[in-house]
Amino acid sequence: MTWVKVCAENELAPGETRVVWDGDTPILVLNFDGALYAVEDKCTHEDYELSAGPFDAEQGRLVCLLHSATFDLRSGEAQCAPAYLPLVKFPVKVEDGAVWTRDDR
């Protein structure tokens, strides 16, 4: 599996997000208070991109605009209905001044 470059490390400040594609998989990469996370850019309730909704950078939560499902970014767990399944999480690393991720399934 090859890593996909997201952006330069200094281009993803706390509270910011980026979407990249690994093949057919959209991956949402987020900087939560200096820690980087990568999740599939898809609500587990309905196939809708999470990147369209708000990222609560204080609480580390993603909210789906379609039906207001909320997810904890750190664990991926769904926090309220209508979503019950956790988000798919992906590895993320910083190497040579760049942020990288990949679909490792």
**Fold of the CATH domain 4-101:** Rieske Iron-sulfur Protein (2.102.10)
- Can you give the length of the chain in residues? 105
* Cα–Cα distance list, 92 to 12, 45, 95 (Å): 13, 24, 10
Peptide bond into 82 cis (omega under 30): yes
The pLDDT > 90 percentage for the chain reads: 96
Whole-model pTM: value is: 0.95
* pLDDT tens digit sequence for 11-63: 999 999 999 999 999 999 999 999 999 999 999 999 899 999 999 988 999 99
Query: What is the C-alpha to C-alpha distance for residues 6 and 99, in angstroms, rounded to an integer?
Result: 5
Query: What is the C-alpha to C-alpha distance for residues 45 and 33, in angstroms, rounded to an integer?
Result: 27
Do the beta carbons of residue 77 and residue 86 sit within 8 Å? yes
* pLDDT tens digit sequence for 56-76: 988 999 999 999 999 999 999
* Cα–Cα distance list, 25 to 34, 39, 48, 80, 90 (Å): 24, 10, 13, 24, 11
